[in-house]
């Protein structure tokens, strides 16, 4: 498998500010990573597919200018929530596309926008 870390594990910010979340693949070179958000008591919703060295592919309904994804290396993808608002408060989880087309997930980042 792949070991995936996320930083920070939780963050509180003021409305209108931007927040960057890092997703690192610690032992696997990942050309593809995925970003999800999860609301309380709900399933995971895929936001975008992050491809190393190229633009991310966003799911329908996800604002690409609001959720900026950068995948500059085989071990790091970042999600920046720009001009965050309270409705952006959620649990954000990344995953790595590992061996045998299996996704391995990070521990998640809890975002609270005040």
Distance CA 65, CA 58 (A): 10
- Residue choice 6, 25, 75, 78 for contact with another protein (CB under 8 A): 6
Stretch that binds another protein, among 11-19, 65-73, 74-82, 94-102 (CB under 8 A): 94-102
Task: Tell me how far apart the alpha carbons of residues 106 and 36 are, in angstroms, rounded to a whole number.
Answer: 10
Name which position in 19, 21, 69, 93 contacts another protein (CB under 8 A).
93
- The smaller minimum CB distance to another protein, of residues 79 and 93, is found at 93
Selected from 32, 70, 82, 89, the binder of another protein by CB under 8 A is 32
Of the candidates 50, 51, 15, 36, which has an alpha carbon nearest to the alpha carbon of residue 106? 36
CB atoms within 10 A of CB 89: 17
């Amino acid at each position: 498998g792949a070991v995936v870390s996320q930083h920070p594990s939780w963050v509180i910010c003021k409305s209108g500010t931007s927040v960057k979340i890092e997703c690192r693949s610690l032992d696997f070179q990942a050309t593809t990573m995925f970003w999800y958000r999860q609301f309380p008591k709900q399933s995971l919703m895929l936001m975008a597919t992050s491809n190393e060295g190229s633009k991310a592919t966003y799911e329908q309904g996800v604002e690409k200018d609001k959720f900026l994804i950068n995948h500059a290396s085989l071990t790091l993808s970042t999600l920046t929530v720009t001009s965050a608002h309270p409705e952006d408060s959620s649990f954000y989880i990344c995953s790595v596309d590992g061996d045998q087309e299996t996704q391995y997930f990070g521990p998640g980042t809890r975002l609270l926008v005040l």
